[in-house]
């Protein structure tokens, strides 16, 4: 979501995240506490865990370089690589 996202969009995203988190916890607790949990619960739990591994904080290198490095300057991490 961009910086221009309105309050309604942010609220909807927060509610969606809360709902998906509740479904994930339901699946995990059902797997741990119930003897009759099945494939659905396992798939939801594994899928949620897999999503948590995504590096959502990463952005394409070009956009970072354009925004934070003056023209002609070499970023510090690129100096060390060469």
Helices 7-33 and 39-52: crossing angle, nearest 10°? 130
From 6, 11, 41, 14, select the one nearest 27 (Cα to Cα).
41
DSSP state of 5: -
Between CA 69 and CA 47 the distance in angstroms is 37
The per-residue pLDDT for range 8-29, each reduced to its tens digit, is: 888 998 999 899 989 999 999 9
DSSP category for residue 54: S
- Per residue in 26-49, pLDDT (tens digit) is 999 999 998 888 899 999 989 888
End-to-end CA distance of the chain: 35
pLDDT of residue 77: 56
Output the pTM of the full model: 0.55
Of residues 82 and 41, more confidence is placed in 41
């Amino acid at each position: 979501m961009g910086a221009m996202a309105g309050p309604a969009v942010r609220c909807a995203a927060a509610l969606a995240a809360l709902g998906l988190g509740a479904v994930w916890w339901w699946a995990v607790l059902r797997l741990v506490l119930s003897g009759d949990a099945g494939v659905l619960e396992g798939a939801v739990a594994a899928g949620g865990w897999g999503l948590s591994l995504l590096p959502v904080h990463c952005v394409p290198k070009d956009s970072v370089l354009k925004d934070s490095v003056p023209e002609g300057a070499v970023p510090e991490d690129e100096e060390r690589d060469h």
